[in-house]
Amino acid sequence: MSSTIVIYSSKYGTTELYANWIAKELKADLKKISEVKSYELIYYDTVIFGAPLYIGKLHQYNQMLNTMMLYPPKLFLIFAVGLKDPSEEYIQVIKKQNNIEDDEVFYFPGKLDYQHLTLLDKFLMRGLKAQIKKHQSLTDEEQRILNSFNHLVDETNRQFILPLIHYVQKNALL
Ligand SMILES: Cc1cc2nc3c(=O)[nH]c(=O)nc-3n(C[C@H](O)[C@H](O)[C@H](O)COP(=O)(O)O)c2cc1C
């Protein structure tokens, strides 16, 4: 059995896609957070957790922390998926907003299909739109968010996983 597992949370499938790519590349096991039992983690030295960002928060991150409490892995890393532009500054914001101190965090650009959002998510997105519309000039990122109301926005790319893959290959006992 592989000693690495990729565990993910995903509302609309984007994070699941990245989790699949990573698990394939590392020949790791793959599971949805809701299907993982705490005792199963005894088998793994490395746990990679992937989650989308919703209003700054990593979806189901607390559930991941609780699941890991019994058998903490030797190496734990996180990848976040969202619509913001990738940057080291945004990784620091994600860490701060989710109280992550020491764990390594990677960030991958995601996907948004407004037509397929739940009513609540549509409502939250409309709030964001109202905020953005107050701005005098728009950044590329804000423009992309506004575009997402009319078109599918898809920034996903397999290449984004490479820094995470290299990090695991360097630091994990594969
Ligand atoms: C209501 C709502 C809030 C969001 N908040 C953020 C956010 O704070 N930061 C960000 O980068 N992306 C944000 N996004 C974009 C999602 O993270 C992005 O669509 C992601 O690809 C969804 O992943 P999933 O398909 O795995 O659920 C938000 C999307 C919605 C609908």
Residues of the domain holding 129? 113-154
What are residue 50's phi and psi, to 5 degrees?
-120, 135
Angle of helix 140-147 relative to helix 119-133, nearest 10 degrees? 140
pLDDT in tens, 103-112: 999 999 999 9
CB distance 109 to ligand 1 below 6 Å: no
For residues 12 and 91, membership in a common domain is answered with yes
For residues 46 and 17, membership in a common domain is answered with yes
CB distance 13 to ligand 1 below 6 Å: yes
Residue 90 CA: which ligand 1 atom is closest? 11
For residues 82 and 10, membership in a common domain is answered with yes
* Cβ-defined contacts of 115-120 (< 8 Å, 24+): 116/12, 117/12, 118/11
For residues 45 and 131, membership in a common domain is answered with no
- Number of domains comprising the chain: 2
For residues 142 and 166, membership in a common domain is answered with no
- Degrees to nearest 5, angle at CA 8 with 124 and 169: 130
pLDDT in tens, 70-122: 999 999 999 999 999 899 999 999 999 999 999 999 999 999 999 999 999 99
For residues 86 and 15, membership in a common domain is answered with yes
